[in-house]
Amino acid sequence: MLAQDDIGRKALLSYLATFLVCVAVVLGISWLYTSTQRSRFMETGYAVWDAKRTMVSNCDVGQVAVFGDSRADSALIPDRLKKVATNLAVAGGTPIENFFFVKSVLACESKPAIVMLSFNPGAFEIIQPWLWDNSVGYGALGWQEVSEIRHEAERLKDASYLAVTPKLGIDGIFRDAAYSHGFPGIYFNSLLESRLMGKTAMNRQKFDEVVMARGYPSYRRVAQVAGAGATKVQETARFTPLPIQQSYFEATLALLDRAGITTYFLITPYNTTNVNTHNQPYNAAYMAYLHRLDAKYPRFQLLQSKPPVWEQAMFVDGAHLSQEGANVFSRLLDRCIEGAAENANLGGGCNFDHPDQSAKVVELLVAKAKK
């Protein structure tokens, strides 16, 4: 009990009411700012997303649209392809959010002739916090989409979805509500780091760069993170895709199939130093899973029969290709697509590890790139 009780009830109620109003006003202003001015304070990753989303909303995806994760994001330089292509793969992307991106693209009048999907096996096995920190937090997915995902997870009895705790530190339906409605707490660290608006010029430049490069953001070499980007797979681990990821991946394939679009699955190069590369049973199970889908969906094909394995020199870290590596990979892919156009069906014929098709070509292209 407090000794002093000389403040009237009215004054205290007025104090509490003013307090609540001030909380609401500050939160409201912050909410408005963080929902409308993200490019002023967000990290450059946001500008990359924003550029890709703008291309989608402008229905500017060309003849080949690539969807996938950060490995695909780093591996494909659309300019290196003869066909007009767009790299719409996103950092931390999994089949879930890519289903919605594909859906948006298919809503356009001019649809791409070819869609490429590219996910590392880990993308099927977990739900990344990035689904909220990036896809929802950046505004690409809203309440309707996350509710749909949650209901699908409940239908599949996949508990992994509800358990994920992104940066905000909450899970379940409250996490979905906070992220999809852009609760300003999501952006607090970015606001602090940018001192409210210190990233404007940097983000504008990055946005323009990515739009110019048709979705390709140049990955820079990062010191001391050789393992970054690599999903840690133990040598004894088995490939176990989550029901929710499988469901959305198949929904994507069905959607593309119905739209009459040829869909290729592309496996970006594995790094020789990556532990995933050496787990043969794991990779075999991954390929078997993809082959099953290849057989199920007539318009879906695997471009490769096994994951290509490249030397560390072509990567910026343990998983992402450098610009040089991306250059080589994109040229190889171009040949592959052109070949596909001629042969109509590749049937996994683009083996980037094949000595004739890969090693020598890579060698030549590296030499050329260096010149």
Partner 1 sequence: MLFNSYVFIAFFLPVALAGFFASARLGRASAAAWLVMASLVFYAWWNPAFLPILIASILINYGMSEIVAKSGHRPALQSALLALAVGLNLLALFYYKYFFEVAKFLTQGVGFEVHADPILLPLGISFFTFTQIGYLIDVKQGVAKERGFLNYVLFVTFFPHLIAGPILHHREMMPQFAEKLTYRFSLINFSVGLTIFVMGLFKKTVLADPLGGDITAGFNMPGDLSFFGAWWVAIRYSMQLYFDFSGYSDMAIGLACMFNVRFPLNFNSPFKSQNIIEYWQRWHMTLTRYLNQYLYNPMALAVVRWRSEHGFGTKRANQKTLGGFLSMTALPTLMTMALIGLWHGAGFQFLLFGLLHGVYLTINHAVRIFRGAAPENPSPRAARLSRILNIAATYIAVVVGLVLFRSRSLEGAITMYQSMLGLHGFAFSIGKAEIIWVLVLATIIWGCPNVQQIMGKFGPALTKVEAFSKRLPLIWRADASWACAVGVMLAISLMAMGGTSEFMYFQF
Nearer to partner 1, 130 or 265 (CB): 130
Residues facing residue 64 across a β-bridge: 85, 114
- How far apart (Å, rounded) are the C-alpha atoms in residues 336 and 349? 8
CA dihedral 48, 50, 53, 57 (to 10 degrees): -140
- How far apart (Å, rounded) are the C-alpha atoms in residues 339 and 336? 5
Binding site residues, partner 1, CB under 8 A? 1-5, 7, 9, 11-23, 25-27, 30, 167-170, 174, 184-186, 188-189, 192, 195
CA dihedral 65, 335, 275, 287 (to 10 degrees): 70
Q: What are phi and psi of 117, to 5 degrees?
A: -115, 140
- How far apart (Å, rounded) are the C-alpha atoms in residues 115 and 59? 14
- DSSP line for 92-124: T--HHHHHHHHHHHHTSSS--SEEEEE--THHH
